[in-house]
Amino acid sequence: MEKILISACLYGEAVRYDGQHNRLTHRVLQQWKAQDRLIVFCPEVSGGLPTPRPPAEIQPDGQIKDSTGANVTAAFQAGAARALALCQQHQIQLALLKENSPSCGSQFIYNGRFAGIKMPGQGQTTAVLRAHGIRVFSENQIDELAAVLAASDPLQSR
């Protein structure tokens, strides 16, 4: 059975920078939970960042800094490397990650000025996973992910 990497915050774990979660409620997610398809992971926590923590954004030069000005790039890189290792360990080819995150954003990230302005881009973990052929979807694309999974995995329709 094909496994899916999922952002821990989407799964309901309180790992966001503000100590909250972004629990995703969708019928197919409940099905995947029941099928034991989901591998839950937070690259930021895995990279060594605490919860709660100051928000972080990718800067125009590619570094990741938090709102205090601290350079947290190494923690984001470590978390991305651990996400890739986990995907390789479980032969994961699909990921459902949190949009807008400096780790997990797949279409949009914040612009690096801490002004709440989004721009096209991808987070550190998404970039690493995609560079290794793993397809990344956001919570806004869960139906598309479900269609891809159904086409590739006959157990999905059960």
Distances (CA, A) of 18 to 21, 52, 100: 9, 5, 15
pLDDT for position 152: 86
**Average pLDDT value over all residues in the chain:** 96
| Tens-place pLDDT, residues 116-125 | 999 999 999 9
Q: Could you give the residue ranges of the DSSP H alpha helices within the chain?
A: 8-11, 27-34, 43-46, 73-89, 124-131, 142-152
Domain count, the chain: 1
**Domain boundaries, position 142:** 4-157
- Is the pLDDT confidence value at 157 over 90? no
Handedness of CA 89, 94, 100, 106 (dihedral sign): positive
CA-atom Rg of the chain in angstroms: 15
For 9, the token pair is 């915050």
